[in-house]
Amino acid sequence: MTELGPDSPILQPLEAGAIATRNRVWMAPLTRNRSEPDGTPNDLNVEYYRQRAGAGLIVSEGTQPSAVGKGYLNTPGIHTDEQQAGWARIADAVHGGGGRIVVQLMHAGRVSHPDNTGEESVAPSAIAPGIDMVTASGEQPIPTPRALTAEELPGVVAEFVDASRRAIAAGLDGVEIHAANGYLLHQFLADGANTRTDAYGGSPANRARLVVEVTRAVADAIGAGHVGIRISPGSTASGIAEDDTTGAYEALLDGIDGLGLAYLHVLVSPDDPFLGKIRSAWSGPLVLNTGFEKPTTREDAVTLVADGVADAVTVGRPFIANPDLVTRWTHDTELNTPDESTFYGGGAEGYTDYPTLEG
């Protein structure tokens, strides 16, 4: 490929609800485990996001809306005043570089450990994910969670609403509701993790119910145009299992499509036939993440947007190593290689020290 011209579809602005993005190369949510132990974003986080302000939109790393929603060590939260103040600094830094950023609200649910949170983990059903988690004392099996009662679910919705209001108060451009990758909301959608017999389990509509309620409540609280949602139909991430990889998602889209959300973020292979059904069922901007098996290439991204498969593409690993990825892709220049040994935890190395074309 050669240099992209100014009329290239992937370089065009996109109105994602109330969020005006200047191009269609978006930064995917990336867990980096470098916030303070109490979940407060720090100076290093501010610099990391500032460097990547050239993305059309930054979708932040998964951020817990409550203490019990925390999964991994040193992940950020947005449920205390201190955490909100940290996110306000990040918002200012990204906006100062001409960028836009939303915070991804991620309640880990059963993908958690009491050693990391001081709390018993919760889930739709008392089913352990069957995987290990890194804790301060080493890697340990994740214990069986406690099943949430129906009476507790309005409180879960309220946690997402409070976190969303804090995000807007911090000056962020919106939120992305994380209903993917095996975390709490995905656990409700997945028949392998949700064996409830009440109104929140069983049929596809029942399994989608909590996600619909969270999405509607957040949209009511901060305006639908500031709300995106992420799904990953058929994903096996974090020990999730789905025999029904379509029904609950069809019910979910039926329940939220008319709200006027900013975008739908789908993690699925472009070859998955269900993507076409999602595309036809969704009236707003559709954003595609092509999955974990291999990094999204420049050619992949350009083709997906040019062919109308997606309105924008989220990119992960290339953004880790290339803060100026959009510039590099535009001019078809060489990319830095990400250092996988520094992906999770640590300091500036492999986080804020990757060079840009400007030096």
Look-up: residue for tokens 């000056």?
A: 171
Whether 72 sits among the annotated catalytic residues: the reply is no
| Pick from 325, 211, 331, 346: nearest CA to 314 | 325
Instruction: Please give the torsion angle defined by the CA atoms of residues 282, 284, 289 and 291, in that order, rounded to the nearest 10 degrees.
Output: -10
Cα torsion 315, 211, 104, 75: sign:
negative
CB 268 within 8 A of CB 232: yes
CA dist 33 and 136 (Å) reads 12
How many residues appear in the chain?
Answer: 359
Q: Residue 77: helix, strand or coil by DSSP?
A: strand
List Cβ neighbours of 228 (8 Å cut-off, separation of 6 or more).
Answer: 16, 17, 59, 102, 174, 175, 176, 177, 261, 262, 263, 264, 265, 287
CB 144 within 8 A of CB 113: no
Amino acid found at 3: E
Beta bridge partners of 103: 175
Burial 164-194 (b: 16+ CB within 10 A, else e): bbbbbebbbbbbbbbbbbbbbbbbbbbbbbb
DSSP summary character for residue 53: T
Q: Catalytic: which of 48, 49, 72, 183? A: 183
Tokens at 20, concatenated: 């005006």
Task: Tell me the catalytic residues.
Answer: 183
